[in-house]
Amino acid sequence: MKSNKTNPRNHTDQSKKSIREITLIKQIRVYICAVVFDFDPIKILEQFVYDPNAKLLFHSGFFIFLFVGFLAIYKVLLPHQRLRVLWVTLFSLYFYYKCAGLYWLLHVVIVVVDFNLARWMEAAQTRSRKVWLLVISLVLNLGMLVYFKYNVYSELWCELTDSPFDPSKVFLPVGISFFTFQSLSYTIDVYRGQLKALDDMLDYAFFVTFFPQMVAGPIVRAADFLPQINKTPFVSREDFGRGIFLITTGLFKKAVISDYISANFVDRVFDSPLQYTGLENLFAVYGYAMQIYCDFSGYSDMAIGIALLIGFKFPVNFDSPYQSTSITEFWRRWHISLSTWLRDYLYIPLGGNRKGNVRTYVNLMLTMLLGGLWHGAALRYIIWGGLHGMALVFERLVKRNLSSAPGAFRSAFGGVLTFHFVCFCWIFFRAQGLDNVHAMLSQIWYNFEPQYFFTFVEGYAPVIFWMTLGYGLHLMPAVTERWAERVVTSMPLVLKALLVLLVGALVMQVKSSDVQPFIYFQF
């Protein structure tokens, strides 16, 4: 007779076998996820935490992932005005946290203080009380700039004290120059009576922290932006098409042209100008002129395009500045939001051109010197601003004589002269210290060596190609750009998506290093 009892030893062996099989299956799953799909949950979670070496950039894959999620929730909240404003504000604060870590709290301080100061200013019964409240706003915003930008570790302080400059000791919160100026425009306008103070702090937080332009502009005026907040966003077919056009052109300018010529030529020459001929130094200057334009205008284009996709409109920030025939015109086309801010909140309050020629020239010089200082705490930035100031004064002095010159000759001569003057000034803006400025200018003047031109072109053929393409596109008539924009706008959605994919594929093909941050993040 067979026994019904189970052998304990066999049961134990089967249990061990089952455990081994389960463990093996788990290991296979982990292997498939980690190796085949490159899936690591810890690394994915780390993407959401601030990393000082990986700031959140418009042209990074992680931003695209976040933005898609943001849009999905944003679309659901469109009918719910306060929830939509809250969602955008929270996302904007997170965006800045990914760029600057705990310094996102600076936004909280600015929002709370300036919002209340503006309300108290509007309710103030005496002018003196209004003045003191405005002074507090100025001290808060400009004080933060001074603390972070012009401290004892800054390049300017080291130059003045003849001590070595250590860049590692300087930490500048991303975009602090932009969002402080933006907040100041609000309090100053309320003080002047040109703007009514807001009643809801959330609206003001939305204005100050709006993520597309928070870290590198454009500097949006409160009077232009605040009326858009409480309107239900509407994205027309034209707005959507223009947004796609601006995002793709901005991505192309930044991630293809600017990053390529920077990584493969410009940075090398500016870092060690004595190792290159004067010819190479000169072309590096031309290259940097295109690099900084494509980098900064590319960011502005993407910021304006992203804002359009969610129903908000920003003014144009760049208008083909290298087509200018004078320095005065250049500053009407370059970084328009900053130049108009300096005009309205500094140059005109100083007296503008209302108090005679001499005072006008002084006001121009002061405005441009402070504009240079706004860019950074270094003597070279002040020299850069001073040179532009002197050029503006010179143009006013000789304006009557130039006005009698033939139109075509004046345009051609003025365009070439203006471009080369701007390029000359860029040397001070880009070079790491005045010693490098002297070395570069010496190489161009004394060791030009034009006989190596064809060798240079052959050796740097891809760089020359992208530089030439950049200048060619930049110098195209405005009517051509408007035509291209209409073409993109009229495309079916499938073709728009294909255009974005093609530009993205081109970026992946051309890039030779990791995603590079925008130049103006340091300002």
User: Model confidence over 437-463: pLDDT tens digits?
Assistant: 999 999 999 998 888 888 888 899 999
Please report, as a single letter, which amino acid is at residue 509.
Answer: Q
Contact present, 437 and 427 (Cβ < 8 Å): yes
Identify the pLDDT of residue 308.
92
pTM, 2 dp: 0.85
Find tokens 């807001």 and name the residue: 198
Residue 117 confidence (pLDDT) above 50: yes
pLDDT at 514: 58
- Which of 97-111, 164-178, 199-213 is the least confident region? 164-178
Query: Angle CA(334)–CA(337)–CA(343) in degrees, nearest 5?
Result: 95
| Res. 53: pLDDT tops 60 | yes
* 321 burial via Cβ count (<10 Å: 0-12, 13-18, 19+): buried
pLDDT value of position 269? 93
127 has pLDDT over 80: yes
How far apart (Å, rounded) are the C-alpha atoms in residues 142 and 130? 18
Does residue 1 surpass a pLDDT of 50?
A: no
Query: Has residue 215 got a pLDDT over 90?
Result: no
Convert the pLDDT of each residue in 391-437 to its tens digit. Answer: 999 988 887 555 555 567 677 888 899 999 999 999 999 988 888 99
Express each pLDDT in 19-33 by its tens digit. 555 565 555 555 445
Q: What is the pLDDT averaged over residues 40-65?
A: 73
Query: Catalytic pick from 59, 107, 335, 375?
Result: 375
Answer whether 302's CB lies under 8 Å from 255's CB: no
Assess contact for 428 and 368: CB atoms under 8 A: no
Residue 90 has pLDDT above 60, yes or no: yes
SS3 assignment, position 310: coil
* pLDDT tens, position by position, 297-307: 998 999 999 99
Best-predicted range by mean pLDDT (175-179, 208-212, 384-388): 384-388
Q: What's the chain's Rg over C-alpha atoms?
A: 28
- Choose the weakest-confidence range: 124-138, 154-168, 465-479: 154-168
Alpha-carbon distance 391 to 495, whole Å? Answer: 46
> What is the rounded average pLDDT for all residues in the chain?
84
What would the mean pLDDT of 349-368 be, rounded to a whole number? 88
The pLDDT-based confidence of 288 (bands split at 50, 70, 90) is very high
pLDDT beyond 50 at 469: yes
Per-residue confidence (pLDDT) for residue 277, from 0 to 100: 92
pLDDT score at 393: 92
CA distance 330 to 343: 14
Better-scored residue on pLDDT, 249 or 60: 249
Model confidence band, residue 165 (pLDDT cutoffs 50, 70, 90): confident
Q: How far are the Cα atoms of 27, 62, 371 from residue 480, in angstroms, in the given order?
A: 59, 33, 33
What is the dihedral sign for C-alpha 227, 345, 372, 324? positive
Token readout for 206 is 């939305």
pLDDT of residue 36: 45
Q: Could you confirm whether 438 is annotated as catalytic?
A: no
Q: What is the pLDDT of residue 21?
A: 55
For residue 331, pLDDT beyond 90: yes
Mean pLDDT of 57-79: 85
pLDDT band at 500 (very low <50, low <70, confident <90, very high): confident
Tokens encoding 212: 């597309």
- The predicted model gives 251-271 an average pLDDT of 90
Q: How confident is the model at residue 289 (pLDDT cuts 50, 70, 90)?
A: very high
